[in-house]
Amino acid sequence: MDDYEVIEQIGRGAFGAAFLVLHKAEREKVGHITQNPLYVLKKIRLAKQTEKFKRTAHQEMNLIAKLNNPYIVGHKDGWVEKESFVCIVTSYCEGGDMAEIIKKSRGTYFPEKKLCKWMTQLLLAVDYLQSNRVLHRDLKCSNIFLIEHSDNRLGDFGVAKLLNQEDLTSTVVGTPNYMCLELLADIPYGYKSDIWSLGCCMFEIAAHQPAFRAPAAELLRHPHLQPYLAQCQNLSPVFLSVKSEVSSIKGKPKGGPLPNKYGNGNPHGDRTNPSKELTTIHDSKTDDSGNSRIIVECTSSVHSKEARQELTSEPFKLI
């Protein structure tokens, strides 16, 4: 930390803060102009957090240090401060994030050439991640940052996951407006989930409105989640599906599961419905755009081992 001078605080979340900092040793004087390289210092608080949260914070620091792509926010430094904070220093994107840019545009749509340029850059970033078995899992407009010449960079790898060659994961994680359908249906998902999220981002960038609006309470009322939600404790009635969805089916007992295309009451069709439970494991924070990120662990008798699998810290070689 002694190598950096804090300029100002530029962000704050439930588990830490972000600061604009200056690297003291990199100051250069060119004529009468002083060039001060600026960076962003992200401090993640470890005190009074669970062991799982601490491992995730360390894993974010280790993962981003290995990434090197022109369309991903650059890594500068990282360390643990007195066992109380994980500190990650990344390049500063002076243009702000895409969510801010959309707000500032005040209804003026971006030209098609700029949209195609941004989409190409983001696809290159996602392709690089997938080539190195990394799943971002929280791709959204507020995690897309702009630099000079309107180039963009993908950032925030706080919930990223390293997968095996053909591996899938089943942890419900991300921001509801950008979640893929597999997450709602409790189906293990893989790299294509980031492509879905990218599509949602591009729609929002082009149309200046979300492709889907999905508050957390609305997601929890989804029929696929109702059998598992019933196993949770201290539920609010707002999470229960509306009466007409359950009781309007003639001849069905009140409160019973809805029939589906297979003609039975199994919410997954002809599949066996294993016992599951939903447990929040990380955080639920709201960004400046009003989007809440939720992380829920799905424990299932079918894939419980995989559902509990975390981001591994084993070294991997980047392509």
Residue 253: per-residue pLDDT: 47
Which among 54-58, 116-120, 135-139, 249-253 has the top mean pLDDT?
Answer: 116-120
> In the 8-state DSSP scheme, what is residue 189?
B
**pLDDT, average across residues 85-103:** 94
Greatest mean pLDDT range, 21-30, 72-81, 210-219:
72-81
**pLDDT for the residue numbered 254:** 45
Q: Helix 98-105 crosses helix 192-207 at what angle (to 10 degrees)?
A: 20
Which amino acids are annotated catalytic? 138
**CATH T-level fold of 4-91:** Phosphorylase Kinase; domain 1 (3.30.200)
What would the pLDDT profile of 143-174 be if each residue is shown by its tens digit?
Answer: 999 998 789 999 999 888 888 766 787 777 77
Kindly state the helix (H) or strand (E) to which residue 228 belongs, with its residue range.
helix 226-229
Give domain limits for the chain: 4-91, 96-231
State the DSSP code for 169.
B
Q: Which of 71, 73, 90 is nearest to 21 (CA)?
A: 90
| Distance between CA atoms of residues 208 and 202, nearest Å | 9
- Measured CA to CA, the distance from residue 318 to residue 133 in angstroms comes to 9
Q: How confident is the model at residue 302 (pLDDT cuts 50, 70, 90)?
A: very low
Which pLDDT value is given to residue 115?
95
Asked whether the predicted pLDDT for residue 117 surpasses 90, the reply is yes
Distance CA 98, CA 116 (A): 15
Q: Is the dihedral of CA 18, 21, 26, 29 positive or negative?
A: positive
Same topology between domain 4-91 and domain 96-231: no
Q: Which two tokens stand for residue 317?
A: 């070689």
pLDDT, mean of residues 137-145: 93
> Residues annotated in the binding site for ATP, as ranges?
42
Say if residue 6's pLDDT is above 70.
yes
Task: Look over the chain and give the mean of its residue pLDDT values, rounded to a whole number.
Answer: 76
The count of residues in the chain is: 319
Assign 176 a pLDDT band (cuts: 50, 70, 90).
confident
Give Rg (Cα) of the chain.
22
Q: Give me the mean pLDDT over the 114-141 stretch.
A: 94
List pLDDT tens digits, range 230-247: 777 666 665 565 544 444
The pLDDT score that the predictor gives to residue 85 is 92
Q: Is the pLDDT of residue 89 over 70?
A: yes
How many CB atoms are closer than 10 A to CB 83? 9
Sequence-distant contacts of 223-230: CB under 8 A, at least 24 apart = 223/257, 223/258, 223/267, 224/184, 224/185, 224/186, 224/267, 224/268, 225/184, 225/186, 225/278, 226/257, 226/267, 227/257, 227/267, 227/273, 227/276, 228/186, 228/276, 228/277, 228/278, 228/298, 229/278
Whose tokens are 């919410």? That residue is 267
Q: What CATH number belongs to 96-231? A: 1.10.510.10
The tokens 């003026």 sit on which residue?
Answer: 108
Separation CA 152–CA 172 (nearest Å): 27
Share of the chain above pLDDT 70, in %: 67
